[in-house]
């Protein structure tokens, strides 16, 4: 199945800004994050098709996944 | 009071009242400049300092701003710019909360830090700065950490709270306090070239979602630091949100997060479906 992954801020460094990739059916968000070698502790927010999502959610063909790092400075 | 009104009307040019005449009125009637500003605005006169606000902000709206009370939590990178802009905007009362003193590593970005304010409490520097800009604006300095324990007392009378904190757990606690008190909260956070802003009304949980994966520690700012321009951009957007909430104008970032990437110069809006 095809998933479009968008990466924000520092997650782009050495990776990409947006890419549509093939994943096996039933892939979880956490598995995509792991495959991208993004440490779980760096994840701030996950959006799936413009909705807030959790890492244990399963992806479906055509989904748009956005990953944001934690930003907390002032 | 009537005499003061008469004095102000007599000295106005059109509907503009000069700073010199505001001072003259304060001296003659022995009242604070804040009272002069409120009396003038109530009489439909605009203190001349606000003349370039015109069209954007009417005299009536200027009075609304003057009668408003906004709490700024944190007086560092974001907070310094927010306080400066609120004072110039003409928000009548600003509660500034921060426990820290200025240190050398603040000088690259924190507006209120200068070589002269090193070692000085940030909230005291904020009060001095606001008095320099406009003595009619009251800044209430609170040299303390915001905490859920003191939050209710400190924020109770505020119409809007501004998140200018540098700690994720404190932000989450602040969101809870604001929800309990029924006060809108304007959130801003920065790290390196990146920043984000959203506005949360009581009952919303956008901020909780923004940090839903957080377990401990800081964000990207830990590695990237914060250059001079990022707090200025994010703080300005936060102040615009405050202004709109106070005036009931325009569209806020409610249920939306503006993600700003100054490195690639991309502004991305993320919709939060309630």
- Enumerate domains of chain B plus CATH numbers: 2-54 (no CATH), 68-271 (3.40.50.720)
Cβ B69 vs Cβ B158: under 8 Å = yes
In A, which residues are within 8 Å of B75 by CB distance? none
Q: What is the pTM of this model?
A: 0.95
ipTM, two decimals, is: 0.88
- Whole-number Cα distances in Å, B132 to A31, B51, B87, B112: 56, 19, 10, 12
Q: What angle do CA B125, B126, B132 make, to 5 degrees?
A: 90
In which element (H, E) is residue A21 found? strand A18-22
Flag if B188 and A9 touch (Cβ within 8 Å).
Answer: no
Flag if A52 and B212 touch (Cβ within 8 Å).
Answer: yes
Flag if A68 and B259 touch (Cβ within 8 Å).
Answer: yes
In this predicted structure, the answer to whether residue A50 has a pLDDT above a threshold of 90 is no
For chain A, the domains span: 2-69
Q: What angle do CA B217, B189, A15 make, to 5 degrees?
A: 75
Residues B188 and B123: their CA atoms lie apart, in Å, by: 19
Min CA distance, A48 vs chain B (Å)?
11
Regarding the domain delimited by A2-69, which CATH topology (the fold level of the hierarchy) does it fall under? Ubiquitin-like (UB roll) (3.10.20)
Residue A52 at interface with chain B, using a CB cutoff of 8 Å:
yes
Min CA distance, B206 vs chain A (Å)?
9
Write the pLDDT tens digit of every residue in B32-48: 999 999 999 999 999 99
Using pLDDT thresholds of 50, 70 and 90, give the confidence band for residue A41.
confident
How many Cβ pairs closer than 8 A exist between chain A and B?
A: 104
Q: Which of A8, A45, A74 sits opposite B74 (nearest CB)?
A: A74
Flag if A45 and B268 touch (Cβ within 8 Å).
Answer: no
Average pLDDT by consecutive 10-residue portion of chain B (274 residues)? 94 97 98 98 97 93 98 98 98 98 98 98 98 97 97 96 97 98 98 97 95 90 94 98 98 96 93 79
Flag if A44 and B191 touch (Cβ within 8 Å).
Answer: no
Cβ B53 vs Cβ B83: under 8 Å = no
Residues B98 and B124: their CA atoms lie apart, in Å, by: 10
């Amino acid at each position: 199945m095809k998933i479009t992954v968008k990466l924000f801020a520092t997650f782009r460094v050495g990776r990409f800004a947006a890419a549509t990739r093939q994943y096996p059916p039933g892939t979880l968000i956490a598995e995509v994050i792991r495959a991208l070698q993004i440490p779980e502790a760096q994840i701030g927010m996950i959006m799936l098709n413009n909705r807030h999502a959790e890492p244990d959610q399963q992806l479906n063909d055509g989904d748009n996944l956005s990953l944001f790092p934690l930003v907390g400075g002032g | 009071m009537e005499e003061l009104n008469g004095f102000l009307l007599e000295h106005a040019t059109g509907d503009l009242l000069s700073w010199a005449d505001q001072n003259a009125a304060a001296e003659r009637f022995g009242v604070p400049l804040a009272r002069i500003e409120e009396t003038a605005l109530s009489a439909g006169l605009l203190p001349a300092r606000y003349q370039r606000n015109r069209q954007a902000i009417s005299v009536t709206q200027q009075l609304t701003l003057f009668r408003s009370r906004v709490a700024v939590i944190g007086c560092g990178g974001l907070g310094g710019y927010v306080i400066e802009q609120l004072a110039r905007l003409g928000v009548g009362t600003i509660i500034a909360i921060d426990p820290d003193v200025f240190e050398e590593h603040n000088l690259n970005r924190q507006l209120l830090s200068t070589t002269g304010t090193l070692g000085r409490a940030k909230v005291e520097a904020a009060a001095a700065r606001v008095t320099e800009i406009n003595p009619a604006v009251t800044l209430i300095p609170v040299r303390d950490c915001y905490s859920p324990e003191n939050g209710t007392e400190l924020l109770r009378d505020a119409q809007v709270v501004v998140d200018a904190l540098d700690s994720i757990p404190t932000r989450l606690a602040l969101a809870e306090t604001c929800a309990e008190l029924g006060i809108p909260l304007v959130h801003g956070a920065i790290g390196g070239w990146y920043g984000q802003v959203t506005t949360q009304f009581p009952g919303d949980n956008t901020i909780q979602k923004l940090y839903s994966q957080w377990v401990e520690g800081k964000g990207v700012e830990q590695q990237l630091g914060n250059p001079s321009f990022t707090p200025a951009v994010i703080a300005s957007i936060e102040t615009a949100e405050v202004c709109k909430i106070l005036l009931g104008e325009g569209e806020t970032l409610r249920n939306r997060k503006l993600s700003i990437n100054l490195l690639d110069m991309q502004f991305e809006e993320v919709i939060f479906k309630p």
